[in-house]
């Protein structure tokens, strides 16, 4: 009798853990504007840790997915079309912006054949691996802002130098 109780507790814990994972996945799928699906073909633990750290450094998240649970979590979310991409040993990178999740994954996939980008979804639209790689090559929002500020400051600096030169010319005359 004691053994059966232990089995029931064990199943209950596993069921609770699975439900917790489904909830975590669903939360990711509801909030993310970009989800990248990659096939992990044997990344070592240090390689996976390096990838996870690189993804986080870009402001995104990374999870090794349990496909069956992830498919359950996709139901009713904008990312539901991803269900067909979840085959084999899968990992997902996700971000609230439309670029961050793709950067580190694309960089790692470019240098390590053990990681293959399968595709993804951006704002509810399914995208292929080529589009994910294209997104990874775009500048980040911070880089765009920096360039914009530089462009706006350049004419102001030129105008100030022109005004100074004109003022010095008048004083000399």
* Residue-level pLDDT at 143: 76
150 plus 83 within the same structural domain: no
* Residue-level pLDDT at 3: 58
Total domains in the chain come to 2
Cα 69–chain centre separation? 20
36 plus 102 within the same structural domain: yes
What domain range includes position 156?
139-173
CA dihedral 45, 36, 110, 49 (to 10 degrees): -20
7 plus 73 within the same structural domain: yes
72 plus 134 within the same structural domain: yes
Whether 62 contacts 78, CB under 8 Å:
no
Alpha carbon distance 28, 87 (integer Å)? 19
* Residue-level pLDDT at 75: 92
66 plus 145 within the same structural domain: no
The list of the chain residues with pLDDT below 50 reads 1
32 plus 84 within the same structural domain: yes
104 plus 147 within the same structural domain: no
Alpha carbon distance 41, 112 (integer Å)? 10
């Amino acid at each position: 009798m004691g053994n059966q109780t232990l089995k029931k507790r064990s199943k209950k814990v596993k069921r609770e853990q699975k439900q917790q994972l489904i909830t975590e996945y669903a939360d990711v799928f509801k909030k993310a504007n970009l989800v990248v699906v990659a096939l992990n073909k044997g990344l070592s633990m240090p390689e996976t840790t390096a990838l996870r750290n690189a993804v986080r450094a870009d402001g995104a998240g990374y999870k090794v997915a349990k496909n069956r649970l992830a498919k359950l979590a996709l139901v009713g979310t904008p990312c539901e079309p991803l269900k067909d991409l979840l085959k084999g040993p899968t990992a997902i990178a996700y971000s609230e912006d439309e670029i961050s999740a793709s950067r580190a994954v694309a960089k790692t996939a470019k240098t390590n054949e053990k990681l293959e980008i399968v595709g993804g979804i951006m704002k509810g639209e399914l995208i292929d691996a080529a589009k994910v790689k294209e997104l990874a090559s775009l500048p980040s929002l911070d880089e765009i802002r920096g360039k914009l500020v530089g462009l706006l400051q350049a004419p102001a600096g030129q105008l100030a130098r022109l005004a100074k030169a004109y003022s010095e010319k008048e004083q000399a005359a």
